[in-house]
Amino acid sequence: MKTSISLSPTIIVIFGGTGDLNLRKLAPALYNLYSEGYMPEKYAIIGTARRPLDDDKFRNTLMEGVNSFSRTGKVHKDKWESFSKNIYYQSSDVKDSASFDELRIVIEKFKDEFGPETQIVYYLAVSPDLFPAIAKRLAKFKLAENEDNCRIVVEKPFGKDLDTARELNELLKERFKEKQIYRIDHYLGKETVQNIMAFRFANSFLEPLWNRNYIDHVQISVTEQLGVGDRGGYYDGSGALRDMIQNHLLQLLCIIGMETPINFDADEIRDKKVDVLKAMRPFSAEDIRFNTVRGQYSKGWIKGTEVPAYRSEKDVPDDSNTETFAAIKFFVDNWRWKGIPFYVRTGKCLTQSSSLITIQFKDVPHQVFPGGAAENWQQNRLIISIQPEMSIRLQVQGKRPGLDMILNPVDMVFDYKGTYTTESPEAYETLLLDVMTGDQTQFMRADQVEIAWELLMPVINAWEQKKSLSFPNYTAGSVGPENAEALIARDGFHWFTLPLNKD
C-alpha cells in the first residue's frame, strides 16, 4: 500500500503484447500512469507476440486500444508521443527458446542504459497453457535471476482446479521466489474494494459491531448483464464457479471476514485472508445439495435486444453442462462468524450489472414503536457498492417528516462521485503500480489460491459428475434461477439490489 512513490528504472515485458488484455487494460493503465506522473523516469515497455510488427505499428495498435478503452478517453497527442517512444515490439514465439535469447539481448541493452538499479517486470498476458513455457524459459535463460528486482505477473485463471493450481505453483516455486510472483486478481485493485479495508480498519465504530453478535448475514453479489459473447470457447471450460467465485468473490468475502491486521505488510494482510479461507466450512454432499445452486441461461431479452441461449452461443456445445450462474451459502467457522451465513452469487445475462456487498445487521432486541409507526421497518444494512455506483450506504431508520411518528429506512451515503472530484484509477493502474513498487498486498499468494480451490473442489466435482437435468433454468434478462431465490428465502432473507443501473 503506497503513500508516496519513487520508482527505479523499469523494463516491462508483456508476453501477449498484441492481445485483448494489453489493448483493453494494460496499455491504457500504463498510459494513464504516465500521464499522472506515476511511471518511472526511465522505462521501456517491450511487447512480444508471434505476429510480425515493427515498433511503430505496435505503438499504433496500442494507441487504438487506449483510444477505445481508457477511462480518460482518447490520448493527448504530445503525451502519447513522449510515452510511446519507450514502447518496443519483439516478434517471438514463447515456445521457441531462440526468442528468449533475443529477449535477453534487448533486456541487457536497456539494463546497460538504465543502470544497475533496473527492475524487470514480466507480464504473462497470454493463454494459461503458455504460462509454463514462459516460466521455464525465463529461468533457463537466467532472465529473472535477481530476486529483488525481477517480478513475474501471472494473469487469471490460476489453474483450472486444485491439482493444476498446485502444479503451476510448483513450477513457479522451483524457479522463482514467492516474492517475485504476482498472481493477479484484478478485483483487488478496484478502488472500492481497497476502500473496504480503509472503512473497516480506519474507523473505530465498526469493529465492535463486526461479528456474529450484531450481523445476521452477509451477501456478496456480482451480476452481469452481458453473456459470454465471443468467449464461449474459454468460458465453457470454466463456468461461474471457477471464473468468478474461486477468485474474485472469495477474495471479497475474505476482506469482509478477515481479522484486523497488525499492519499493512503484504504478508500480514494475506495471512489474515488465508485465516478466513481456512475457517470456511468444507462442503459435505448434503451442503452441496442444500447450499449451492447452479444455473444456465436460456434465450431472452436484455435492454431491448434478444439474447441467445447459452447453448446457442458461439463455440458452446448444445448440451453444455457449464453453469453461467452460481449461488452458494458459505459459513466461516470461527469466533467472529460462527453461524452467520455468507450468501454469494454471480451470473451472466441477468437483469442488472452490479457488484454489491450487503451486510445486514440484527434486528433491534425490542420494538418500542407502535405497530403503525414501524410498517416500513427494515433492519440496518451496510451496502458497499463496487460497481457501477461506487458508494457505501448505511441504511438506518429515520422519522418521516410530519406530525405522526412514522419510521422509514433512509440511506446515509458516501458516494465517490459526490465526495471527490478526482477520478478513481482503474484496477490495472493500481496493480501495475504495485508491481513496479514491489507491493504484493493486493496479489494472491500461493497458499491463498490453493485453499480457495480446495474449498470449492467438492462443489466443482459434484457439478461435473452429475449433469444438471434442469439446464437451462433461467431466462436471459431475469434475476437468475428460482432456486437461488429459494436458497436465501429459506432463511428469511432476499437478495438485495440497489434500485439503479447506470449501465
Binding residues for NADP(+): 50, 93-94, 156
Q: Which is nearer to ligand NAP, 143 or 215 (CB)?
A: 143
Of the candidate residues 63, 103, 125, 218, the single one contacting ligand NAP (CB under 6 A): 125
Query: 126 vs 460, which CB is nearer to ligand NAP?
Result: 126
Angle at CA of residue 421, ends 416 and 423, nearest 5° = 70
CA distance 153 to 145: 15
Asked if 432 touches ligand NAP (CB under 6 A), the answer is no
Q: Which three cell numbers stand for residue 422?
A: 478526482
- With CB under 6 A as the contact rule, the residue among 50, 76, 79, 177 that binds ligand NAP is 50
DSSP reduced 3-state for 132: helix
Reduced to 3 states (helix: H, G, I; strand: E, B; else coil), residue 55 is helix
**Closest listed residue to residue 181, CA positions, set 140, 152, 147:** 152
Cα 176 from Cα 152, distance rounded (Å): 9
Distinct helix (H) and strand (E) counts, the chain: 17, 18
94 near ligand NAP, rule: CB under 6 A: yes
Nearest by Cα to 226 from 156, 294, 310, 155: 310
If one asks whether residue 278 binds ligand NAP (CB under 6 A), the answer comes out as no
What values do phi and psi take at 415, rounded to 5?
-115, 125
Residues 438-477 touching ligand NAP, rule: CB under 6 A, are none
299: its cell numbers: 434465450
Q: What residue is closest to ligand NAP based on CB?
A: 19
Report, in Å, the least distance between residue 194 CB and ligand NAP.
19
**Amino acid sitting at position 30:** L
155/429 with CB nearer ligand NAP: 155
Give the count of beta carbons closer than 10 Å to the beta carbon of residue 97.
Answer: 13
Active site residue 248: yes
Tell me: does residue 51 bind ligand NAP (CB under 6 A).
yes
Closest approach, Cβ 96 to ligand NAP, in A, equals: 8
Site for ligand NAP in 11-30 (CB under 6 A): 16-21, 24-25
Ordered DSSP codes for 369-380: S-GGGGTT----
* Residues annotated within a binding site: 50, 93-94, 156, 186, 190, 224, 243, 348
CB of 25 to ligand NAP, least distance (A): 6
Query: Judged by CB under 6 A, which of 39, 120, 126, 274 binds ligand NAP?
Result: 126
Beta bridge partners of 361: 215
Cell of 300: 431472452
Nearer to ligand NAP among residue 23 and residue 258 (C-beta): 23
**What separation in angstroms does the CA of 294 have from each of 7, 290, 323, 455, 468?**
46, 11, 6, 17, 8
Least CB distance to ligand NAP at residue 247 (A): 10
Q: Which of 76, 217, 248, 366 is catalytic?
A: 248
Q: Between the CA of residue 394 and those of 199, 205, 278, 354, 384, what are the distances in Å?
A: 12, 13, 30, 18, 9
Smallest gap from residue 18 Cβ to ligand NAP (A): 4
> With contact defined as beta carbons under 8 Å apart, do 392 and 384 qualify?
yes
95 binds ligand NAP (CB under 6 A): yes
How far, in Å, CA of 227 to CA of 161, rounded? 23
54 binds ligand NAP (CB under 6 A): no
Q: Are 359 and 308 in contact (CB under 8 A)?
A: no
Does residue 163 touch ligand NAP according to CB under 6 A? no
* 3 state SS of 92: coil
Which range touches ligand NAP (CB under 6 A), out of 121-129, 166-174, 280-288, 483-491? 121-129
CB of 403 to ligand NAP, least distance (A): 57
Ramachandran quadrant class, 90 (left: phi over 0; alpha: psi -120 to 50; beta: rest): beta
Smallest separation, CB 13 to ligand NAP (Å): 12
Least distance CB 313 / ligand NAP (angstroms): 17
Q: Closer to ligand NAP at the Cβ: 16 or 159? A: 16
Closest CA to 12 of 43, 55, 58, 50: 43
Is residue 49 part of the contact set for ligand NAP (CB under 6 A)? Answer: yes
Q: Are 127 and 156 in contact (CB under 8 A)?
A: no
128 near ligand NAP (CB under 6 A):
yes
Single-letter amino acid, residue 28: P
Of residues 60, 68, 127, 312, which one binds ligand NAP by CB under 6 A?
A: 127
CB nearer to ligand NAP: give 49 or 172: 49
- The answer to whether 278 and 455 have CB atoms below 8 angstroms apart is no
Annotated binding site for substrate: 186, 190, 224, 243, 348
For ligand NAP, the closer of residues 251 and 395 by Cβ is 251
Alpha helical stretches, state H, 385-491:
416-419, 427-437, 446-465, 482-489
Site size for ligand NAP, by CB under 6 A? 22
> Which member of 138, 155, 215, 316 binds ligand NAP (CB under 6 A)?
155
* Nearer of residues 156 and 345 to ligand NAP, judged by Cβ: 156
Measure the CA–CA gap between 355 and 13, rounded to whole angstroms.
32
Nearer to ligand NAP, 40 or 157 (CB): 157
Q: Report in angstroms how near the CB of residue 386 gets to ligand NAP at its nearest.
A: 16
Stretch that binds ligand NAP, among 91-99, 166-174, 437-445, 473-481 (CB under 6 A): 91-99
- The residues carrying an active-site annotation are 248
By the criterion CB under 6 A, which residues form the site for ligand NAP? 16-21, 24-25, 49-51, 93-95, 125-128, 130, 155-157
